[in-house]
Structure 1
Amino acid sequence: MIKFSGRGLLLDIEGTTASVAFVYDVMFPFVRRELDAYLQAAWKTPALEPVLRYIAQDAGADTFAAWTQDDATEQAKQQRVSAEITRLMDNDIKATGLKQLQGLIWKSGFDSGELVAAVFDDVPPALVRWNEAGKDVRIYSSGSVAAQKMFFGHTNHGDLLASFRGHYDTTTGPKKEAASYRVIASDYGCDASEILFLSDIVAELDAAREAGMQTGLCYRVGNAPVENGNGHPGIESFDQVSIG
């Protein structure tokens, strides 16, 4: 049991509010299946242009034009993007460009109803309890803010978006660096010690704790085994967070 009397709760998604299996077995394969068709359909659109810039910068180039200067055709540029996105996904690299593009592709799946986010059953009632207690609940995930909003707007428990007052992704900073959590605490407008961060990744919790936040390690069904929790209090359900 974690007893929390602070101001805000900051939540991870994968392995914390939703199962790892849904992300890896449903959402990621959807991106792989739709990637090339999406790039072809969205090429040269305003929505895709900033994402391509992120992808190029993640690859070490200043601009998308510089990154694709050796590609003679638009098709060749699309193939370069597709190959890079596939490489990033194969290696589970949480690059900003990748996450932004995934969000754009997932939108079509959520809009059509093919994708329905599977959150754990204890999450919706916990969100109600925390909000009724006046807590400021927000999300910090490597997935883009746009993808987060689509995810929680289309869950197996309905639209949960109203439960959250803020969203953060890798544009705020890497999840395993303390500086990112300091930025988030500043955005909350309170001392970091007034925020409880819940995640299934010890390295993320280490960074949050270094920044001054309270932490909780989520042991969810389907998560990878944790050999060393590094002193972070563990929970198996959000029911085990007691609000004071």
Structure 2
Amino acid sequence: MKAILTDIEGTTSAIAFVKDMLFPFAEAALDGFLDAHGSDPQVAAILADIPGPDPRAQLRRWMKDDAKVTPLKSLQGLIWRAGFEDGRLKGHLWPDVPAALRAWHAAGLALAVYSSGSVEAQKLLFRHSLAGDLEPLFAGFFDTRIGAKRETVSYAAIARELGLPPAEVLFLSDVAEELDAAAAAGLATCQLVRAGDGTKPSGRHPEAADFPAVTRHFALPVPG
């Protein structure tokens, strides 16, 4: 392996953190944030991409449905930035994750993130994580702008962006359908089956209960 591409929710971080902390935070702050920042160029550009006559109503419908759409994810990222920067939010990571990421990075592996959450939100989580600032460990961040997570073309595009043959990229995720798409693009895959998240193994991919198990299975560098 030359690179490790990782999902966040259910892989590096608890599903509950995203579902029970980040999503409610963004929903509660939505109106106040738009009242204060709706005319900012970045926010206005996001709102312009939302169909229909009432952007706020559409955003709330998307939130209710947990829609993986770029305008919603981009706006959530901006709202979360305010919470991370003023200390109301800290990025959750499973305890085994930081040491493994540092060891892989120190050994020369390229690390990248692919999540349905915006690149902005990804960087904030790792920059303001419970283990400190881990953002500098990563060579790339990818969200739905490169494609949907269950589409094979998305993983082929990420491998091209990383400048590597797909077979030299290992994708870590808890979602079997994402792993299916990555494998179809030629990437190596591993399903994270974390007891704390109640993930069900698919039987279609190598499995690991945590990042040390990934390290052992793929003979990756171990934390010193």
TM-score range, shorter chain: over 0.9
Please name the residue that 1:121 is paired with: 95
> What are the residue-to-residue correspondences of 1:156-195 with 2, within 5 Å?
156-195=130-169
Compute the displacement of 1:231 (Å): 1.6
Compute the displacement of 1:225 (Å): 3.8
Q: Give the count of matched residue pairs.
A: 217
Gaps of 5+ in 1: 1-5, 57-66, 69-79
For residues 221 and 19 of structure 1, what CA distance do their matches in structure 2 show? 10
**3-state SS, counterpart of residue 171 of structure 2:** strand
Compute the displacement of 1:90 (Å): 1.1
Q: Which amino acid is 2:25 matched to? A: F
More relative contact order, 1 or 2 (CA 8 Å, 6+ apart): 1
**3-state SS, counterpart of residue 48 of structure 1:** helix
For residues 140 and 50 of structure 1, what CA distance do their matches in structure 2 show? 23
Please name the residue that 1:238 is paired with: 211
Compute the displacement of 1:128 (Å): 1.2
Please name the residue that 1:32 is paired with: 27
Please name the residue that 1:62 is paired with: none
Compute the displacement of 1:229 (Å): 1.1
Compute the displacement of 1:223 (Å): 2.5
Higher-Rg member (1/2): 1
For residues 208 and 85 of structure 2, what CA distance do their matches in structure 1 show? 33
For residues 16 and 172 of structure 2, what CA distance do their matches in structure 1 show? 19
**Percent of paired sites with the same residue:** 42
For residues 29 and 130 of structure 2, what CA distance do their matches in structure 1 show? 23
**3-state SS, counterpart of residue 24 of structure 1:** helix
> What are the residue-to-residue correspondences of 1:193-212 with 2, within 5 Å?
193-212=167-186
> What are the residue-to-residue correspondences of 1:1-244 with 2, within 5 Å?
6-56=1-51, 67-68=52-53, 80-226=54-200, 229-240=202-213, 241=215, 242-243=219-220
Gaps of 5+ in 2: none
Q: In the TM superposition, what whole-angstrom CA distance separates every residue of 1:75-125 from its partner, at most 9, and x where no partner exists?
A: xxxxx2222111111111111111001001001100110000110111110
TM-score, length basis structure 2: 0.93
